[in-house]
Amino acid sequence: MNIESNPSTMDFPATASTLLLPGPAGLIEIATAMPPPDVARAGTALICHPHPLQGGTMQNKVVTTLEKALRELGLATVRFNFRGVGASTGEFDDGIGESDDVRAIAAWIRQVHAGDTLWLAGFSFGSFVALRTAAALDVAQLITVAPPAGRWDFAAITLPDCPWLVIQGEQDEVVDPNAVFTWLASLPSPPTLVRMAETGHFFHHRLLDLRAAIQQGAHAPLPPLRAAGTAV
């Protein structure tokens, strides 16, 4: 694992890599990947994992499905472990410190991929963190899978002014689907909603459908292709 003490001096890895970046609570473990050069676009997606105290990590299957779906669209991807998970230092901070982790990684992305469009995605608790940071980060596309409405306070969150996709299983046993649907219907500008029938929280046996929903439901224009020979 590469430990980078000065991330501003490091290029985005050209091959799939795991790195340790300095963050607000110590080190943050991240995993990067690039699409094939012939389809690579000038955009990077940052993906947030589910609840750290309930087994959530960047290796979660929904998170890796998000990563694959976005990389197939041509985006570079960054998954990471929130503070206190894997090799990331620190302790769980109820979404507040985790939002600082997101902001720190987004700043690094904008250093090493200057000019890239930034997309932000999250699953479950990661959706909550993505949502509460999206507006300030001025992301081009927000994707929230199973956002935990009713389990976390969304009332004070500033909603992003960008295309926003929500994917929710109708038989979610962790997040109440009706709470999600009611919350979304109450918003002044509801996002694009994909309801997946006969689907639980972890999308068992539906990961291929989830990948298709992500790729079909993301409405932000895809970034332009990276110029040939552009350093990553």
Residue 226 CA to residue 232 CA, distance in Å, equals 9
- Asked if residue 52 belongs to a domain, the reply is yes
Question: pLDDT tens-digit profile of 68-124?
Answer: 999 999 999 999 999 999 999 999 999 999 999 999 999 999 999 999 999 999 999
Residue located via tokens 């300095």: 22
- Does residue 227 or residue 222 have the better pLDDT? 222
Report yes or no on 231 lying in a domain: no
Does a structural domain hold residue 229?
no
Q: How many domains does the chain have?
A: 1
Assess if residue 32 is contained within a domain: yes
Write down the pTM of the prediction.
0.95
Q: Are 128 and 148 in contact (CB under 8 A)?
A: yes
Report if residue 135 sits inside a domain.
yes
Q: Which domain holds residue 171?
A: 2-217
Residues in CB range of 178: below 8 A, 6 or more apart: none
Assign residue 28 the CATH number of its domain.
Answer: 3.40.50.1820
In the numeric block, which tokens belong to residue 136? 């300030």
Beta-carbon neighbour count of residue 231 at 10 Å?
10
The answer to the question of residue 230 being in a domain is no
Residues 200-228 have a mean pLDDT of 95
The string of pLDDT tens digits covering residues 24-65 is 999 999 999 999 999 999 999 999 999 999 999 999 999 999
3-state secondary structure of 206: coil
- How far is Cα 206 from Cα 184, in angstroms, rounded to an integer? 23
Intra-chain end-to-end CA distance of the chain, in Å: 19
Alpha carbon distance 30, 85 (integer Å) = 11
Residue 223 lies in a domain: no
Residue 222 lies in a domain: no
